[in-house]
């Protein structure tokens, strides 16, 4: 009888051991849409107006267990300063440097004032694409520059950024593709701006009043798509229905044998 009880205990222990199986958390895709009020913020659709207005305003969105905080900046020399972050229904996010003219089209992200939009994530993600919306008529260039990495939450006073890629292939509405450049690298921040090197000049005016005019890159950021990185979780115990059934059956059998033994 003692041998039978021992066997039942061993069976229960084996069943319990089967419960601790490794698991894998698969990647998921999240698209943050910036054409409506913040689902995790004040909910108001608002533009920057005709002046820069309040600067350093942060907007937040949450989806798929990830929160992204969005802030606008302008760059003068090597110094980043807070800029106004506008949100336009159906068009997306724009930025405007403090003190500048923020009427159309300058309420877009543009490289006249070297404006940037910083996305900081609550957990590491893999950026895949952003949709750039150009609201000019006729549409203009949407050349972009972006940085990516970890550890940055505020650009003010920051001396350097990791990554860095110039994308000069765009005009009008387009998708900015990160996959071939960033690859599968998890990041906690992504900085997108109109290409600071993309300004071109041309002659304008009349023969009596010649002058130099400039073509600027301008866009609003309509959406951002990221993947959550997959992770192996071999050390985490994950109960499975079959294993739990085996464990329960073993314990019930052990209880019955022990009752008969002691009766």
The residue extents of the domains of the chain are: 2-21+241-262, 24-233
Most confident of 11-15, 31-35, 105-109: 31-35
Q: What percent of the chain has pLDDT over 70?
A: 68
Q: Whole-model pTM?
A: 0.74
Q: Judge contact between 143 and 170, C-beta under 8 A.
A: yes
Look at residue 4 in the predicted model and tell me its pLDDT. 53
The closest alpha carbon to 198, from 109, 128, 95, belongs to: 109
Look at 261 and 106; give whichever has higher pLDDT.
106
Mean of the per-residue pLDDT values for the chain? 78
Average pLDDT over residues 142-169: 86
Residue 5: what are its φ and ψ, rounded to 5°? Answer: -65, -40
Look at residue 46 in the predicted model and tell me its pLDDT. 45
pLDDT tens profile 110-124: 999 899 999 999 999
Q: Would you state the structure tokens that stand for residue 111, as one six-digit string?
A: 């490289």
Question: CB-based contacts of 43: which residues, under 8 Å, 6+ apart?
Answer: 37
Average pLDDT over residues 242-252: 52
Tally of CB atoms within 10 A around 245:
11
Look at residue 235 in the predicted model and tell me its pLDDT. 43
Q: By mean pLDDT, which of 6-10, 137-141, 217-221 is the weakest?
A: 6-10
Question: CA angle at residue 156 from 155 to 161, to 5 degrees?
Answer: 35
Q: Judge contact between 216 and 140, C-beta under 8 A.
A: yes
Quick check: 100 pLDDT over 70?
yes
Confidence of residue 145 (pLDDT cuts 50, 70, 90): very high
Quick check: 98 pLDDT over 60?
yes
pLDDT tens profile 189-211: 999 999 999 898 889 988 888 89
Look at 128 and 81; give whichever has higher pLDDT.
128
Look at residue 158 in the predicted model and tell me its pLDDT. 65
The closest alpha carbon to 104, from 222, 221, 218, 204, belongs to: 218
């Amino acid at each position: 009888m003692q041998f039978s009880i021992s066997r039942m205990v061993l069976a229960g222990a084996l069943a319990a051991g089967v419960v601790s199986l490794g698991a894998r958390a698969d990647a998921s895709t999240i698209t943050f849409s910036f054409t409506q009020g913040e689902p995790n913020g004040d909910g108001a659709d608002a533009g920057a107006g005709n002046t820069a207005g309040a600067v350093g305003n942060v907007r937040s969105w949450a989806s798929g267990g990830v929160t992204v905080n969005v802030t606008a900046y302008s760059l003068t020399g090597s110094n980043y300063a807070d800029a106004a972050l506008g949100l336009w229904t159906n068009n997306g996010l724009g930025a405007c440097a403090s003190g500048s003219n923020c009427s159309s089209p300058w309420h877009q992200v543009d490289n006249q004032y070297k404006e940037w939009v910083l996305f900081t994530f609550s957990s590491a993600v893999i950026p895949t694409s952003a949709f750039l919306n150009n609201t000019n008529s006729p549409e203009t260039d949407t050349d972009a520059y972006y940085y990516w990495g970890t550890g940055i939450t505020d650009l003010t006073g920051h001396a350097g950024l990791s990554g860095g890629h110039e994308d000069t292939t765009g005009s009008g509405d387009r998708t900015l593709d990160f996959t071939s450049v960033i690859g599968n690298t998890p990041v906690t921040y992504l900085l997108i701006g109109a290409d600071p090197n993309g300004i071109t000049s041309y002659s304008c005016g009349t023969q009596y009043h010649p002058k130099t005019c400039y073509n600027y890159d301008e866009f609003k950021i309509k959406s951002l798509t990221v993947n959550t990185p997959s992770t192996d979780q071999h050390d985490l115990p994950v109960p499975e229905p079959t294993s739990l059934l085996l464990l329960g059956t073993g314990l019930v059998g052990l209880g019955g044998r022990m009752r008969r033994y002691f009766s």
